[in-house]
Amino acid sequence: MMKIQKLILLATIAITTAAFTSDATLKGKPEANEIIGLWMPSEGTSYIKIFKEKGKDKYHGKVVWLKEPNDEEGNPKKCPKGDLVLNMINLRNFIFEDDEWTDGTIYDPKSGNTYYCTIEMANKNKLEVRGSLDPFGLVGRSDTWVRMKTN
């Protein structure tokens, strides 16, 4: 009797897992250009458009939408350096190697700080973005970004 219950449980887990992973999983290793597109960080307050630099194998990201584009006075939001946040390049100089995008930096317009950064593709619609104080990624934090559908 216990064996039948275990088999039913295992079959249920297998079917559920297949249903949730069938479309969103990455089939094999990511390709370099799969990162290109429109992404939303976990806060949901901005969209970042990741693009490939013309004539080079470098990837960058630009803030293309803000939930609240203006400050309290109604002026366009600026970072601590005084630059406009909307249309700002905040991801710079990523290269694709060993199935991830590395050697880049991420700029935080709230704090005005630039961090080392690596990006891994969890699946075709999800990125794991890690900003860190050190180039090895030991001291920092990770964020999950989701791909936005575009028409």
Q: How many CA atoms within 13 Å lie on the side-chain side of 49?
A: 12
In a domain, 32, yes or no: yes
In a domain, 131, yes or no: yes
DSSP H/E element including 62 = strand 59-66
In a domain, 107, yes or no: yes
Q: What range defines the domain where residue 134 resides? A: 28-147
Whole-angstrom distance, CA of residue 90 vs CA of residue 111: 12
Token digits of residue 34: 């799969």
In a domain, 86, yes or no: yes
In a domain, 4, yes or no: no
In a domain, 16, yes or no: no
Q: What is the pTM of this model?
A: 0.80
Token digits of residue 136: 């090895």
In a domain, 88, yes or no: yes
Give, for all 151 residues of the chain, the pLDDT tens digit: 455 544 343 433 433 333 334 344 556 789 999 999 999 999 999 999 999 999 999 999 999 999 999 999 999 999 999 999 999 999 999 999 999 999 999 999 999 999 999 999 999 999 999 999 999 989 999 999 999 998 6
Whole-angstrom distance, CA of residue 71 vs CA of residue 78: 8
**Into how many domains does the chain fold?**
1
In a domain, 103, yes or no: yes
What is the domain-level CATH number for residue 105?
A: 2.40.128.520
Which are the contacts of 135, defined by CB distance < 8 A and separation ≥ 6? 116
DSSP designation for 136: T
